């Protein structure tokens, strides 16, 4: 269909493109078809059709975590409610995306007609109201206010790093409007300079009170979401500080650095990380939010009097609160303070802190990983990595040998997505090569999220390889998107952990109960089913050597999906997950 004139649809797409979005994920419906014509015709924004709206929402989420902002487009009612779980997950995990919903024409709505995809009561605001708790801004567009409302919602999404929601009635999408005459307004300043000055003085007093240190840093998710990764890298380098990250912030900082203490999970996790964080004279909590699953069910022990806690819009030093204060400004204020403590000497192995690359800025190449990378493959330094001898190759796969082997095969630039369960908690304790991005969903914890998110993340960063680690039960939730990955020739490794059911649930309760069982699938035939006629590799492996060979075969793939079905015992559980599962079982049994 020919597209003529400059319309609301064009305006919306131009504004999305201005914010770094180069594709929209979704499923077509009759209320969105005219809008989709404009997507197809747009020179800078492509359409990626998904198998269903939930998967499209997950794909937009994965895209946004890498690119800085994502977009999902659905039809009214049935489509948007299918995507609502994904939108809620993005809200919980501070992911900026916009949901664009094509709705019935305003004339039909005004006449309260009983049209398809509605609830049949003539009320057309039900679904907008349902989104109120999981979006930061919403609008139902009219020809008169469309451009202003698009700008308002998109700016709010950009600034608050949360999802937004736009309803575009069918005829409004093609209504003619003027093109934008100026860029979107910049984010308003959120830091009061007097507050910043008082915060800096208070932090300086706390550091001066402990001149012999040590000072430690715990990095969390919000550092990435609010574009402060490079500043945190500079802070660590300037003071030569030991550091850890939360599970939610894994790969935020370079895990191959000797100053990296590990992933901190309270009493449930790495003991070196725990000592580093909890025993420091002063601990800087940068963008940290403690949840049940990333704190070992709130088993963290931190002395508030010895902490500097930096949040998105406020900070604290001991019991003193400072607001409004942006996270990036608070971190920047600490850099000269720790530089002074270190005498301005930066450890040689860290290099020049001014040369560290920025990651995580909205609209740019947000990675969640370290910006201190090199162009060569850097293998994981994880202890216990399998050797090349025949005995090691013949060893059967279990949770330990599985993740040791996967960690050793990762390379600089990989985007690793680990689904909630044994994949996330098995891989979380392994140190990653520098320049690797690790994505998971440990707060919303919707199993199956990562398979469509793999699609979005890899399309957001052409040239980077996606590596998906997902349990067989989780993969059955969203498996349809394998067809899209094959169709687009996305270079990715999909490792399905075949442990015959919901092992994460077995670890919490009912290890042999039938509700934790799933149907058996032969994933080694995935290429035949999902990508007939397309290049693919699919195999089932049961030993370390076979897994290593399958991963090595995938090394040079540039347009091929490799599916590896890795069989492990059903009741084999990573140690970190065992600790968390025991705490979850106890918490769930309390009144």
Q: Is the pLDDT of residue 120 over 90?
A: yes
Mark 554-564 as b/e (b = at least 16 C-beta within 10 Å). Answer: beebeebbbbb
Question: Could you read off the pLDDT of 3-26 as tens digits, one per residue?
Answer: 568 999 999 999 999 999 999 999
Q: Is the pLDDT of residue 386 over 50?
A: no
pLDDT of residue 432: 95
Q: Is the pLDDT of residue 384 over 50?
A: no
Q: Is the pLDDT of residue 269 over 50?
A: yes
Average pLDDT over residues 78-102: 98
Average pLDDT over residues 346-362: 33
472, 470, 563, 451: which is closest to 58 by C-alpha?
Answer: 451
309 has which bridge partners? 285, 316
pLDDT of residue 570: 86
Q: Is the pLDDT of residue 557 over 80?
A: no
Average pLDDT over residues 544-558: 90
Q: Is the pLDDT of residue 358 over 80?
A: no
Least confident of 225-239, 444-458, 511-525: 511-525
Structure tokens at 319: 């019991």
Q: Is the pLDDT of residue 352 over 70?
A: no
pLDDT of residue 360: 33
pLDDT of residue 585: 74
Higher-confidence residue: 393 or 449?
A: 449
pLDDT of residue 3: 59
Higher-confidence residue: 75 or 212?
A: 75
Under the banding of pLDDT at 50, 70 and 90, the label for residue 377 is: very low
Distance of CA 204 to the CA centre of its chain: 34
- DSSP state, residue 184: P
Average pLDDT over residues 30-52: 97
The pTM score is 0.90
Question: Could you read off the pLDDT of 61-71 as tens digits, one per residue?
Answer: 999 999 999 99
Q: Is the pLDDT of residue 367 over 80?
A: no
Higher-confidence residue: 344 or 2?
A: 2
Return the residue matching tokens 């492509």: 46
Q: Count CA within 13 A, CB hemisphere, residue 378.
A: 20
Least confident of 103-112, 253-262, 332-341, 580-589: 580-589
Cα–Cα distance for residue pair 310/152, rounded to 1 Å: 27
The percentage of residues in the chain with a pLDDT greater than 90, rounded to a whole number, is 75
C-beta of residue 468 within 8 angstroms of C-beta of residue 440: no
Higher-confidence residue: 508 or 12?
A: 12
pLDDT of residue 270: 82
Q: Count CA within 13 A, CB hemisphere, residue 241.
A: 34
Question: Which burial class, exposed, middle or buried, applies to 524 when counting CB atoms under 10 A from its CB (0-12, 13-18, 19+)?
Answer: middle
Average pLDDT over residues 289-301: 85
Average pLDDT over residues 216-230: 96
Q: Is the pLDDT of residue 180 over 60?
A: yes
- DSSP state, residue 249: G
pLDDT of residue 289: 93
Structure tokens at 302: 């931190």
Structure tokens at 183: 């860029």
pLDDT of residue 375: 27
Under the banding of pLDDT at 50, 70 and 90, the label for residue 504 is: confident
pLDDT of residue 361: 33
Least confident of 419-428, 463-472, 506-515, 573-582: 573-582
> Mind giving me the DSSP string for 305-322?
GGEEEE-SS-EEETTEEE
- DSSP state, residue 123: -
160 has which bridge partners? none
Structure tokens at 105: 């024409």
Question: Which burial class, exposed, middle or buried, applies to 167 when counting CB atoms under 10 A from its CB (0-12, 13-18, 19+)?
Answer: buried
C-beta of residue 101 within 8 angstroms of C-beta of residue 81: no
Cα–Cα distance for residue pair 471/480, rounded to 1 Å: 15
Under the banding of pLDDT at 50, 70 and 90, the label for residue 295 is: confident
For residue 291, count other CB atoms closer than 10 A to its CB: 16
Cα–Cα distance for residue pair 106/268, rounded to 1 Å: 55
Under the banding of pLDDT at 50, 70 and 90, the label for residue 411 is: very high
**Cα torsion angle, 294, 298, 302, 303, sign:** positive
Average pLDDT over residues 566-582: 82
Average pLDDT over residues 77-86: 98
User: What's the mean per-residue pLDDT of the chain?
Assistant: 89
Average pLDDT over residues 78-91: 98
Under the banding of pLDDT at 50, 70 and 90, the label for residue 380 is: very low
């Amino acid at each position: 269909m020919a597209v003529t004139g400059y319309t609301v649809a064009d305006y919306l797409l131009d504004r999305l493109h201005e914010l770094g979005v180069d594709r929209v994920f979704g499923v077509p419906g009759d209320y969105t078809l005219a809008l989709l014509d404009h997507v197809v015709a747009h020179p800078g924004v492509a359409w990626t059709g998904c198998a269903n709206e939930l998967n499209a929402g997950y794909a937009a989420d994965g895209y946004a975590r890498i690119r800085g902002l994502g977009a999902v487009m659905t039809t009214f009612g049935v489509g948007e409610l299918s995507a609502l779980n994904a939108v809620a997950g993005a809200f919980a995990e501070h992911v900026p995306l916009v949901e664009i919903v094509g709705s019935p024409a305003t004339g039909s709505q005004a006449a309260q007609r009983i049209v398809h995809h509605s609830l049949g009561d003539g009320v057309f605001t039900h679904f907008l109201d349902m989104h109120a708790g999981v979006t930061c801004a919403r609008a139902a567009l009219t020809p008169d206010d469309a451009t202003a409302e698009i700008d308002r919602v998109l700016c709010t999404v950009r600034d608050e790093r949360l999802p937004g929601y736009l309803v575009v009635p069918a005829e409004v999408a093609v209504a003619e409007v003027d093109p934008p005459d100026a860029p979107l307004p910049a984010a308003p300043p959120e830091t009061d300079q007097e507050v910043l000055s008082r915060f800096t003085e208070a932090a300086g007093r706390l550091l001066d009170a402990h001149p012999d240190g040590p000072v430690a840093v715990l990095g969390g998710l919000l550092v990435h979401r609010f574009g402060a990764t490079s500043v945190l890298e500079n802070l660590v380098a300037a003071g030569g500080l030991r550091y850890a990250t939360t599970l939610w912030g894994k790969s935020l900082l370079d895990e191959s650095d000797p100053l990296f203490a590990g992933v901190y999970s309270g009493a449930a996790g790495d003991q070196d990380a725990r000592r580093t964080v909890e025993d420091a004279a002063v601990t800087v909590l940068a963008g940290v939010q403690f949840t049940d699953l990333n704190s070992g069910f709130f088993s963290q022990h931190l002395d508030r009097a010895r902490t500097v806690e930096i949040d998105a819009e406020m900070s604290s030093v001991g019991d003193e609160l400072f607001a409004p204060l942006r996270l990036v400004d608070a971190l920047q204020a600490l850099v000269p303070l720790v530089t002074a403590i270190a005498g301005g000497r930066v450890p040689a192995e860290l290099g020049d802190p001014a040369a560290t690359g920025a990651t995580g800025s909205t609209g740019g190449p947000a990675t969640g990983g370290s910006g201190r990378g090199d162009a060569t493959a850097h293998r994981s330094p994880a202890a216990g990595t399998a050797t090349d001898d025949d005995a090691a190759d013949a060893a059967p796969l279990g949770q330990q040998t599985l993740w040791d082997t996967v960690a050793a095969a990762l390379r600089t630039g990989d985007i690793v997505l680990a689904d909630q369960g044994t994949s996330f908690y098995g891989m979380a304790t392994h140190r990653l090569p520098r320049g690797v991005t690790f994505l998971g969903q440990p707060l919303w914890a919707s199993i199956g999220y990562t398979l469509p998110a793999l699609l979005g993340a890899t399309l957001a960063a052409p040239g980077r390889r996606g590596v998906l680690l997902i349990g067989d039960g989780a993969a059955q939730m969203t498996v349809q998107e394998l067809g899209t990955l094959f169709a687009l020739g996305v270079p990715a490794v999909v490792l399905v952990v075949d442990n015959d059911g919901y092992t994460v649930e077995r670890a919490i309760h009912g290890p042999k109960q039938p509700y934790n069982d799933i149907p058996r699938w032969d994933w080694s035939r995935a290429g035949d089913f999902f990508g007939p006629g397309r290049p693919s590799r699919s195999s089932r492996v049961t030993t370390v050597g076979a897994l290593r060979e399958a991963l090595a075969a995938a090394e040079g793939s540039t347009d091929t999906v490799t599916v590896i079905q890795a069989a492990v015992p059903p009741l084999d559980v990573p140690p970190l997950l065992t600790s968390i599962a025991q705490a979850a079982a106890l918490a769930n049994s309390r009144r």
